[in-house]
């Protein structure tokens, strides 16, 4: 299924019914009980930095684990599965001295997800499955100083983030992602860098007639009792971003499924609709990890 055909199918299906996105990758990896050796594999056995917790690296060292997780979500009824490298940018991977593998991680992650999705589509052709290239916020923020003593300081620039996102997006497109999912937005400027990068990559591929993927942007929203976290609200995300281009806006609930029943949620969705050029995306939080904590919380 080519990218253009995928987009046509997605648009048709979205006009007919709600499509189901997969669930938490991090907690599923956590449940697998992987060791440092699993994360290293033979290829990185002598790596100088501890790698346990670099979930994105598993597409290189334990692709079987990622395939199994994708299959579990499709078996549960998901229409769209997300690629594993949520944090596979050279910026984020620098924490593990793995920045040089970021492109490879994204290509392989998209290919793994596409292969599993294709297998399930072949089983039930009337229910095609799709792959969303997951693009996380990185471990940097453009809007806030990491130094409380120097509010003007930034440890990353817009151009550095834009270039890192562009590399990730090129790799996801090469691997066959059907849509891009810019997710867990805690900094609107970071999200803008990702969106600008996406459109740059679309322009690069225009000559080859690659259809630009719709860009989905789930806003990280929390219920009222968690307002102290100061995460973006609908107008704070929509105002600066909706003029950039096609935008499917959504949000993610930090309180999990219980938040879906909160009376305030429909009002929030109506606020979002002011900025949406396409469809709304709705997701629960990715998972709360271990309640008592053991260093592996997702």
Rounded to 5°, angle at Cα 86 from 222 and 129: 95
Residue 97 backbone zone (phi > 0: left; psi -120 to 50: alpha; other: beta): left
Q: What is the pLDDT of residue 271?
A: 55
Does residue 247 fall inside a structural domain? Answer: no
Q: What is the pLDDT of residue 9?
A: 86
Q: What is the pLDDT of residue 260?
A: 33
| 27-41, 168-182, 216-230, range with the lowest pLDDT | 216-230
CB atoms within 10 A of CB 192: 20
Does residue 184 fall inside a structural domain? Answer: yes
The CATH number covering residue 72 comes to 3.20.20.330
Residue 214 has pLDDT above 80, yes or no: no
Does residue 42 fall inside a structural domain? Answer: yes
97 is written with which tokens? 């001295």
Rounded to 5°, angle at Cα 51 from 131 and 192: 45
Determine which helix (DSSP H) or strand (DSSP E) holds 204, and give its type and residue range: helix 188-204
Q: What is the pLDDT of residue 75?
A: 97
Q: What is the pLDDT of residue 57?
A: 97
- What is the domain extent for residue 181? 3-213
| Exposure b/e, 96-124, CB count within 10 A at least 16 = b | bebbebbbbbbbbbbbbbbebbeebbeee
Q: What is the pLDDT of residue 223?
A: 34
The larger pLDDT score, comparing residue 111 to residue 231, is at: 111
Does residue 249 fall inside a structural domain? Answer: no
In this predicted model, what pLDDT tens digit does every residue of 71-98 receive, in sequence order?
999 999 999 999 987 789 999 999 999 9
Closest among 171, 61, 86, 73 to 116, alpha carbons compared = 73
Does residue 284 fall inside a structural domain? Answer: no
Does residue 99 fall inside a structural domain? Answer: yes
Does residue 79 fall inside a structural domain? Answer: yes
183 is written with which tokens? 């997710």
Residue 254 has pLDDT above 60, yes or no: no
Q: What is the pLDDT of residue 204?
A: 85
223 is written with which tokens? 């219920």
Closest among 111, 176, 105 to 136, alpha carbons compared = 105
Strand ranges inside 43-167, DSSP E: 80-82, 130-135
Residue 192 has pLDDT above 60, yes or no: yes
Residues 6 or more apart whose CB falls under 8 angstroms from that of 148 comprise none
Residue 202 has pLDDT above 70, yes or no: yes
Does residue 200 fall inside a structural domain? Answer: yes
Q: How many domains does the chain have?
A: 1
Confidence category of residue 199, pLDDT binned at 50, 70, 90: confident
In this predicted model, what pLDDT tens digit does every residue of 108-154 receive, in sequence order?
999 999 999 999 999 999 999 999 999 988 999 998 898 999 999 99
247-272 mean pLDDT:
43
Residue 217 has pLDDT above 70, yes or no: no
Give how far the C-alpha of residue 234 lies from the chain's centroid of Cα atoms, to the nearest Å: 19
């Amino acid at each position: 299924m080519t990218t253009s055909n995928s987009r046509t199918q997605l648009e048709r299906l979205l006009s007919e019914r709600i499509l189901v996105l997969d669930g938490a990758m991090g907690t599923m990896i956590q449940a697998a009980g992987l060791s440092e050796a699993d994360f290293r594999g033979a290829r990185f056995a002598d790596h100088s930095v501890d790698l346990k917790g670099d979930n994105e690296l598993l597409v290189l060292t334990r692709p079987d684990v990622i395939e199994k997780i994708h299959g579990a979500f499709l078996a549960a009824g998901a229409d769209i599965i997300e690629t594993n490298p949520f944090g596979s940018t050279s910026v984020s991977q620098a924490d593990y001295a793995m920045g040089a593998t970021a492109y490879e991680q994204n290509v392989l992650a998209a290919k793994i997800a596409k292969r599993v999705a294709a297998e399930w589509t072949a089983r039930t052709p009337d229910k095609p499955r799709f792959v969303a290239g997951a693009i996380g916020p990185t471990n940097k923020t453009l809007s806030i100083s990491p130094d409380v003593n120097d509010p003007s300081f930034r440890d990353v620039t817009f151009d550095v983030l834009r270039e890192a996102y562009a590399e990730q997006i090129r790799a996801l497109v090469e691997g066959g992602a059907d849509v891009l999912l810019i997710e867990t937005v805690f900094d609107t400027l970071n999200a803008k860098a990702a969106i600008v990068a996406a459109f740059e990559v679309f322009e690069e591929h225009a000559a080859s007639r690659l259809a630009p993927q719709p860009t989905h942007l789930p806003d990280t929203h929390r219920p009222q009792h968690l307002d102290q976290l100061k995460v973006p609200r609908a107008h704070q995300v929509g105002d600066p971003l909706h003029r950039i281009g096609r935008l499917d806006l959504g949000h993610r609930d930090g309180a999990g499924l219980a938040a879906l029943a909160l009376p305030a949620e429909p009002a929030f969705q109506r606020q979002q609709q002011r900025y949406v050029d396409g469809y709304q995306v709705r997701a629960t939080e990715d998972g709360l990890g271990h309640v008592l904590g053991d260093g592996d919380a997702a």
